[in-house]
Chains A and B, each alone.
Chain A
């Protein structure tokens, strides 16, 4: 036997020059992945990049015209810019610390103590999260502003103070934003908190630490990476906040401007003899924000990737809640206070406001005329309809992108993981106002894409970018929980990578996916920052319309419109959920009936 035939018998084939990973179906897979990543990069990274360029050009259209460094220098040398920077930092840090402290504490109360009602804490917080920030803001606005506002009447009768002392200004701004973010902090902390092995806590107690000392010396340090991660997230949230600073910062004397409101102001300034919008100035301010948030995100990634802490999720243990005695009554009181301030007060105020002649003024009595006015307008239905389908579609797409990104980040090589992280974080660095600006900058110069401006497609593209980070935070938790073996066993059982994704990953991640979809859709429905620049008069969202009504002094009608929107979103979500649950159950039943039938058929053959 010759050498070659021996080799042939042993299955020897001529070496290919290309390694196994870069041939055949695996190459196709790699190309597909590269293509998807490219599309996402264009969608997510290209607009901000162009925004950087737009900071240095001045003309009628963003990112066009003469190259100039003047607006950039003007922004950088203006004291106002640095006041805005300082304002943003103060606001975001204060908000992050308050929200994280209270959120972490409540998360601990919910999973580690026997406080009554602890089981409803997470669903309650999730529900509060669903209140759009503009709606929440307007609710607080009418509670705090005007001589007829409940708080001001109370202050006047008790202390003789007139006016709206808490209508705007620093304390109000910080507290209102902080209350709004507490549920977010809570929901980020409750997962890691419940996965932490109670034995670690017990060990500290047995080593002589009291309950409180154990909390500060063991529980908190163990959660340090998570805490820093959430702190960074909260801070970036504060930096990019738009609706609340618009309501409680801008009207203050003197105005408290933060990045996003300053960007809008600068954009609306006319420059040059032709009265161009000041794209370059707005983009330059945006650059400072991008830099700050980038630093935060990098810091967060560093801290979260600390491996030593990954053991906090032990195997097969249940966190045993402990009884802390009467002080648990105080814990419960803190919870009620948060629910009251973050949800009940603004919500009730808005619901009542929708039925008042002037929102927030009780002395004038109640009426249904706001609803009559809003509902009698043809525009209302159109606006609600637009908001609903734009929210549903962009929420779905954002959740789908989030699912793909989190899965790719978990299971792929370093390059894909890096890109996925960048894509899922990049939009956080850019407030909605800037995303709108960036999209305008990116699409205006391209002839084909130009036509998209002012259409729902443009709005949806923008919302995907804005909503993906939110959806990612909801979806990635579900993806991380899927143990690698579940996918490996599918591969061994003969499923390709794609088949594994659709038969194992997708069904398991579906609940998180729906949560991500819903949260993203809510965020989109209540978002004002993006459509403020991107929507055209012919295509308005409910949030923009409500804001216009508020600006015209018609807060009661704005409340009515918002209420209708919320009910519509709730109904649509509820119907979708019931439909989905019904269909899944039906499919499951059908499958099991088919299996049962086949079994009986086979059984009868055997017994025949």
Chain B
């Protein structure tokens, strides 16, 4: 097993700056996920690590061996990097059987035929495909094909495993199954792993650590729980499902709390300092972020409490979606989204119609304080440092 270090990685495709200085430290045996929308540079980063793409500059070290160094002019070919990779399209060779496919990496590294067969058979048993050994690899079902691809990647016991959206081509029902398989094999084999996906749930389930990427930048790094509950910027917040982002300005910072004025309504309120992922100072522009499912709609003004934030407003729209009601409520100049569970709408008496007054209540520990996004993004932002283990 070995660690992986990526330092100041840049990649240009002509005029397009695909990776804008990625820094990444993956500990031995760690499973990290690069999470982001399509085109954010996550796959390019992975392909640079694999050696399938030549970076424009930077440095990549696997274990203690530099495999790419722009300054020292080192570039190790992909076949010499001892990594395993699983491709989105499976990338199985149509002219080979399952057994021959899994033997391929062994034979290329001059493992004797009989030993190669033995090792290939072992790994096929582990992924549960031993009985298909003599079938053409591409004749199997999607899930089975991806397990063949997993077996091929793992048969060399690579020090580094790379996954390029391995589940995207699978039916939703199979995704869960192959995901469990990936996790099981990772625990068994323990290789340092880098996984690329745009699916939040996949990332949460599999990763020790998640790195969110946007437009070639690493935006935030943290455990799945941290990323889910304490995003450090608006992009990550939106990506992990914070529908409500309310602009506010910090008016005071005390030992135990942060006071602020909400821009839309001019009202003042306070949250504990733990709500902020990063320290804030007086005068800072911030966003108050919370998920629609974590807010409650009330028909009457609740008792004031420092355990809750309350936003008075008017119902603008109600959408009945079966398992829940979705509200759009205007509070001052801001539009809030609130989801009301079936349990709540069955039990609570409330005038659920446009124009009715309503109060939105959120527990303070479910609200995050996020630095507000700058009005216009600077053309060439400084490399964002993320990815050091928390």
Contact = CB atoms under 8 A, between A and B. Distances in A.
Interface of A: 9-21, 23, 25-26, 483, 485-486, 488-496, 499, 503-504, 507-508, 591-592, 594-596, 598-599, 601-602
A494 B156 contact: yes
B71 A483 contact: no
26 contacts: A11-B61, A11-B66, A12-B72, A15-B73, A20-B68, A485-B89, A486-B93, A488-B52, A489-B87, A489-B152, A490-B93, A490-B108, A492-B78, A492-B79, A492-B81, A493-B79, A494-B79, A494-B109, A494-B156, A503-B104, A508-B94, A595-B100, A595-B133, A596-B134, A602-B114, A602-B121
Contacts of A16: 72-73
B26 to A, nearest CB: 16
A485 B152 CA distance: 14
A508 B61 contact: no
B91 A21 contact: no
B79 A592 contact: no
A18 to B, nearest CB: 7
Contact of B54 (A21, A503, A599): A21
Interface string B1-21: 000000000000000000000
Given A16-B73, A20-B74, A492 B50 contact: yes
Contacts of B81: 492
Contacts of A495: 79, 104, 108
Contacts of A493: 79, 104-105, 108, 152, 156
A19 B85 contact: no
Contacts, number: 120
Given A492-B84, A591-B100, A19 B79 contact: no
Given A12-B66, A15-B73, A595-B99, A486 B61 contact: no
A171 to B, nearest CB: 48
B64 A9 contact: yes
Nearest to B121: A599
Nearest to B122: A602
B267 to A, nearest CB: 51
Given A10-B61, A485-B91, A494-B156, 19 more contacts: A11-B61, A11-B66, A13-B69, A15-B72, A16-B73, A485-B88, A485-B89, A489-B91, A489-B92, A491-B51, A491-B78, A492-B78, A493-B79, A496-B77, A503-B108, A508-B94, A508-B95, A592-B97, A599-B133
B75 interface: yes
Contacts of A21: 54, 75
B277 interface: no
Contacts of A23: 73
Contacts of B94: 508
A320 B61 CA distance: 50
Contact of B85 (A489, A595, A598): A489
B250 interface: no
Nearest to B97: A592
A491 B91 contact: no
B156 A598 contact: no
B75 to A, nearest CB: 3
A595 B134 contact: yes
A494 to B, nearest CB: 4
A599 B117 contact: yes
A311 to B, nearest CB: 15
B46 to A, nearest CB: 11
Query: Does more than half of chain B's interface fall in helix, strand or loop, or is it mixed?
Result: mixed
Nearest to B84: A492
Contacts of B51: 491
A507 B95 contact: yes
Contacts of A503: 104, 108
A595 B153 CA distance: 20
Interface of A is mostly: helix
A409 B106 CA distance: 30
Among A485, A496, A507, A508, chain B packs the most CB atoms within 10 A around the CB of A485
A496 B64 contact: no
B248 to A, nearest CB: 45
B78 to A, nearest CB: 4
A488 B134 contact: no
A11 B76 CA distance: 13
Contact of A11 (B64, B79, B100): B64
A499 B50 contact: no
Contacts of A490: 93, 104, 108
7 nearest CB pairs, A to B: A20-B75, A485-B91, A493-B105, A494-B108, A489-B91, A598-B117, A491-B78
Q: In the complex, which of the residues B72, B78, B121 has the most CB atoms of chain A within 10 Å of its own CB atom?
A: B78
Most chain B CB atoms below 10 A, which of A15, A16, A599: A599
A13 B83 contact: no
B74 A598 contact: no
Contact of A483 (B50, B89, B113): B89
A13 B91 contact: no
A492 B152 CA distance: 10
B109 A602 contact: no
A350 B233 CA distance: 80
B74 A13 contact: yes
Interface in B332-387: none
Nearest to B71: A15
Interface string B95-127: 101011000110011000110011001000000
B161 to A, nearest CB: 11
Contacts of B100: 591, 595
B236 to A, nearest CB: 30
A486 B96 CA distance: 12
Contacts of A19: 73, 75
A599 B115 CA distance: 10
Nearest to A15: B72
Contacts of B134: 592, 595-596
B65 interface: yes
A20 B72 CA distance: 9
Contacts of A14: 72
Contacts of A485: 87-89, 91
A488 B113 CA distance: 23
Contacts of B97: 592
B84 A594 contact: no
Contacts of A494: 79, 105, 108-109, 156
A486 B156 contact: no
Contacts of A602: 114, 117-118, 121
A13 B72 contact: yes
The winner among A11, A489, A491 for most chain B CB atoms within 10 A is A489
A181 B341 CA distance: 69
Contacts of B85: 488-489, 492
Nearest to A13: B72
Contacts of B99: 595
Contacts of B133: 595, 599
A163 B83 CA distance: 78
A456 to B, nearest CB: 35
